[in-house]
Amino acid sequence: MLRIGIPLLTISLILACEGSNEGDTSGESATTGTTGTGSESGTTDVETDSNSVTETTEGSTGEPGGDLRGLVNFIYYPADAATDEALLGVAGAYRMEEFAFDDIYALAGLQLHQPVPPATVDSLEEFAPTPFEWGFASSWIAAGNGIGLGRSEGVGLACLTMADDSYPLYLAAESDAFDPACAPDPAVWVPEAEYTLALYGGELFDDEIVEGVRTPAVLSVSAPDLSVYNLEVDSKTGLDLAWVAGDDPAARIIIRVWDQYGQGLVATASDDGDFTVPAANLAALSGGPGYVTIARELRHTINFSAGSVRVLTRYEVWGYVDFIE
């Protein structure tokens, strides 16, 4: 896969699903627990009546049950000009403070530090390449041994890992150190579908199951032709983007453009089918290889007994371009 950026961390995978981490003392693996919740009926022995899901683009609503803050990504990357295989990105993390970024999978799985998109729709911001600031290791919390999103078609399961041997994250990956159920299967991601979110709490909180997390519709990009590898983009004329507009008022379009050195642009667009990146902004990027991503996403805020979790479900299309100055 060429969806790889500048390496930011080294992830050491630990055998979380056998209870070998300090956050899991229950003796029950995340694999066993999630398999039971992957059906549409959400059959489980965990009480969930108090849980609620709110779709929002402006943050939490209501009061969380505690101070823990979580972030979960459930992202589908279709086959593109660099690879003929789709990719499923499932990742998450817990902290004792708010997350200042949205894309934990890009950080953990693709080695990319993606800036938060503008809050205002149809606006664009430039960003410079900056190292990711982890902060104090004590602010990153290992809860249980996994986080899962499932329905009748299957389960996307992220297992506990350690980044730089200090920062607990949850990631779906193929590894000899993981239970095979944590290997990502793109077929699990279904557009415009409802999923059950399973949060395994270990010693921190009782396992909680929340229904009603939705995925967005498929994003069909018509311009530029991202099926062309190293597609030439003239920085002096701007970049016109077009896609099949959506009809979900809760969905938004996130556009990112960056060069080989990490200098980039990020925009939030309404899902009306077109957006133009002005030449004046493209001029800030260096000539040569670069990347364009267009994503349709839904954001959910889930309040539960220990705090709140922000869940992003996304369909993200990648393009590989050559900036001509």
Q: What is the pLDDT of residues 285-303, one digit of tens each?
A: 999 999 999 999 999 999 9
Please give the residue that has the higher pLDDT: either 44 or 130: 130
Q: What one-character-per-residue DSSP string does 98-163 give?
A: --S-S-HHHHHHS---PPPPPSSTTEEEEE---------GGGEE--SSEEEEEETTEEEEEEEEEE
User: What per-residue confidence (pLDDT) applies to 152?
Assistant: 87
CA distance 125 to 119: 10
Three-state secondary structure call for residue 212: strand
Q: How many CB atoms lie within 10 A of CB 174?
A: 10
Which pairing describes strands 221-223 and 239-243: parallel, antiparallel, or unpaired? Answer: antiparallel
User: What per-residue confidence (pLDDT) applies to 85?
Assistant: 95
Greatest alpha-carbon span in the chain: 60
Which residues pair with residue 209 across a beta bridge? 198
Which residues pair with residue 319 across a beta bridge? 292
* The token pair that represents 82 in the structure block: 């660099």
Q: What is the dihedral of CA 23, 198, 176, 99, to 10 degrees?
A: -70
Closest to 162 in 3D by CA, of 324, 317, 37, 10: 10
Locate all alpha helices (DSSP H) within the chain, ordered by sequence.
Answer: 30-35, 104-109, 279-282
Q: What is the pLDDT of residues 211-234, one digit of tens each?
A: 999 999 999 999 999 999 999 999
User: What per-residue confidence (pLDDT) applies to 2?
Assistant: 46
Locate all alpha helices (DSSP H) within 5-88, ordered by sequence.
Answer: 30-35
Does position 31 have pLDDT exceeding 50, yes or no? no
For the chain, what's the residue count?
Answer: 325
User: What per-residue confidence (pLDDT) applies to 52?
Assistant: 41
User: What per-residue confidence (pLDDT) applies to 175?
Assistant: 81
Please give the residue that has the higher pLDDT: either 52 or 169: 169
Cis peptide before 224 (omega within 30 of 0): yes
CA distance 105 to 90: 6
